[in-house]
Chain A
Amino acid sequence: MSVDSAARAATREWEPDRELLRAALLVTDRPTRPAALSAAFTFGWRAILKIKHVPEQLFDVTLTPIVFLLMFTYLFGGAIAGDVSDYLHYLLPGVLVQTVLITTVYTGFTLNTDITKGVFDRFRSLPVWRPSPLVGALLGDTVRYVIASTVTLGVGFALGFRGAGGVPGAVAAVALLVVFASSLAWIFTILGLVLRTPNAVMGVSMLILMPLTFASNAFVDPSTMPSGLARVVEANPVSHLITAIRGLMYGTPEASQLLWVLVAAAVITAVFAPITMHLYRQKN
């Protein structure tokens, strides 16, 4: 259908209409360079358009949490916690964090796709604030994080999860998670710039994220682990993040936990955003 009409259009003779072309070229007024944030928002708009045009990309973002929640709750829940609904209560914040963190991989993946397809050359040849394509992509990705969170929380609610933090707690948890995920995405933009193919970005990113999310307190209480492993798991930044998220969702937030996450996000951004920008400028 669409291919047919493309073929039809291609076979139609086209002679450039020089007058139309001239008219289109005669723009005397050059608009002034857009503000930095305005350019970034335009790139964010692009990312959202891509979600609109290619909704398939949300399949795994939405299916993974459903599968994980069902699998862990009913398959392992009884064995791990002795009671399915108790385990769901423990598990949901962990799956929420894992889902959103895995979604951050897309930032690097789409960046690498842009580079391999050549569209990034166009962006880099524009007179705009240099980080705006990257910042814009991160802004657009927050939409993805929110969608993934909403699906996870919705499924959790349907399965019977009720947090004492209520809706405000859940919203605060998602907000905190989005902040942390956006900082983490800077690590994957580095991979997006360094590795050769989008699939390599995906593979390496998963290799980092899988141990990081599983060797955390997402699924199992570290106190049940051998002491050496427990220490590692408790030191894992993802465990700190999950603890803070649990606090918000259970209605028992602690300022120190929240502060820890915010400081970690700031540090990650401060370290990795400049590295990304350096690589971006140097990119061949």
Chain B
Amino acid sequence: MPSTNDSGALAVEASGLVKHFGQVRAVDGVDLAVRAGTVFGLLGPNGAGKTTIVRMLATLLAPDAGTATVLGHDIRRAADEVRSLVGLTGQYASVDEDLTGTENLVMLCRLYGFGRGAARERSQALLTAFDLQDAGGRQVKTYSGGMRRRIDLAASLVVNPRVLFLDEPTTGLDPRSRNQVWDVIRTLVEDGATVLLTTQYLEEADQLAHRIAVIDHGRVIAEGTSAELKASVGTGAVQLRLVDPDDRPAAESVMARVLDLTPERSADPAALSARTGDSAAVAQLLPALADAGIAVAEFSLGQPTLDEVFLALTGRPAADEEIDEGSAA
């Protein structure tokens, strides 16, 4: 049972959350414990139920069963308190594209209770902080993808939320814009905010999240730090890439013999991988390959990636599912 411990209070606590959409159990008994001041990642493929969990925690959707609190406020009985403490950025730009950046922010400031002058000042400060001061007078529909995500983040920060829900904050962004969003998230957390983010990018969870819950079919199938999750898969992984893809069958049999296991074929026709804890055997792999006359382009022994974690946990790669998130969202 998650409970408050020496490391600090919980910002988000959920137990047994369930949500059905027709026949589909989109969320099927989820427990979460997010410590204040940390980034918590919900990692899973499309349709796993991540968005539905976030929408329940942000009071947009009432759970069918289970309870949850945000900063101690029950999401059902004290929804207004929760709303005044959280910020939300949805999967799609949740600002009005027809309005200008400034108008969007002024509107939100007014809705949070700022007076006219204060709303204008606050909007200007947010636009400047996100380097959108020159774009404030333009309709949001003219913004690039990265700018749009920034105005969206700014819109979530009008009242300095204590808990920020980010639903796939970098989906569809180019690498540079993605890094910018990551920097913003890190800054927010340094300043004491708690961030709950969903992602289908393993790298994103690895980079940002202090703890990660792996979600599949509406359930948490694993939870821990990135290192813990990797360790739970077992041991390190041997990654091998050959100069000549034609050598792969030969290399496969050498690997099978030396490591005493069946290597996995990667999508790359020249690559092989295997999971093993036997470092002595691994040390003999390179000489054995050289003896067999197989030229090696790359050889590495490392921790498993989160992709491998997902594969090990579910028996499937973390690829898209057939479930339509649109109907499950």
Contacts and interface: CB of A to CB of B under 8 A. Distances in A.
B88 to A, nearest CB: 4
27 contacts: A2-B142, A3-B142, A5-B138, A5-B142, A6-B138, A14-B146, A14-B180, A16-B131, A16-B180, A16-B183, A18-B183, A23-B129, A30-B84, A33-B84, A34-B110, A34-B113, A43-B111, A46-B96, A49-B98, A49-B103, A50-B96, A54-B98, A117-B93, A119-B96, A121-B88, A122-B155, A123-B111
Contacts of B142: 2-3, 5-6
Contact of B90 (A2, A24, A34, A121): A121
Interface size class of A (residues with CB under 8 A): 35 or more
B113 A21 contact: no
Interface string A129-140: 000000000000
B134 interface: yes
Contacts of B99: 46, 49-50, 53
A127 B329 contact: no
Contact of A284 (B61, B97, B191): B61
Contacts of B94: 117-119, 121-122
A17 B125 CA distance: 12
Given A25-B193, A31-B112, 20 more contacts: A5-B138, A10-B146, A18-B183, A22-B191, A23-B125, A24-B129, A25-B191, A27-B159, A30-B112, A31-B113, A34-B112, A42-B110, A46-B96, A50-B98, A119-B94, A121-B88, A121-B90, A122-B90, A125-B83, A127-B112
Nearest to B124: A24
B58 A25 contact: no
B180 A6 contact: no
A118 to B, nearest CB: 4
Interface of B: 21, 55, 58-62, 80-81, 83-84, 86, 88, 90-100, 103, 107-108, 110-115, 118, 122, 125-126, 128-131, 134-135, 138-139, 142-147, 155, 157, 159-160, 176, 180, 183-184, 187-188, 191, 193, 329
Nearest to B328: A284
Nearest to B157: A25
A148 interface: no
A30 B122 CA distance: 12
A144 to B, nearest CB: 15
Given A21-B129, A31-B118, A119-B95, A125 B59 contact: yes
A2 B187 contact: no
Contacts of B81: 127
Contacts of A17: 129, 131
Contact of B92 (A5, A30, A117, A282): A117
A2 B91 CA distance: 25
A14 B173 CA distance: 14
A239 B129 CA distance: 57
A255 interface: no
A39 interface: yes
Nearest to A133: B111
Nearest to A18: B187
A284 B329 contact: yes
A158 interface: no
Contacts of B98: 49-50, 53-54
B90 A118 contact: yes
A284 B83 CA distance: 17
Nearest 8 pairs of A and B residues by beta carbon: A10-B144, A31-B113, A24-B129, A127-B84, A118-B92, A127-B83, A122-B94, A2-B142
A126 B160 contact: no
B2 to A, nearest CB: 25
Interface string A56-70: 000000000000000
B112 A42 contact: no
Contacts of A2: 138-139, 142
B103 A25 contact: no
Contact of A32 (B108, B113, B157): B113
Contacts of B129: 16-17, 20-21, 23-25
A123 B98 CA distance: 16
Nearest to B110: A42
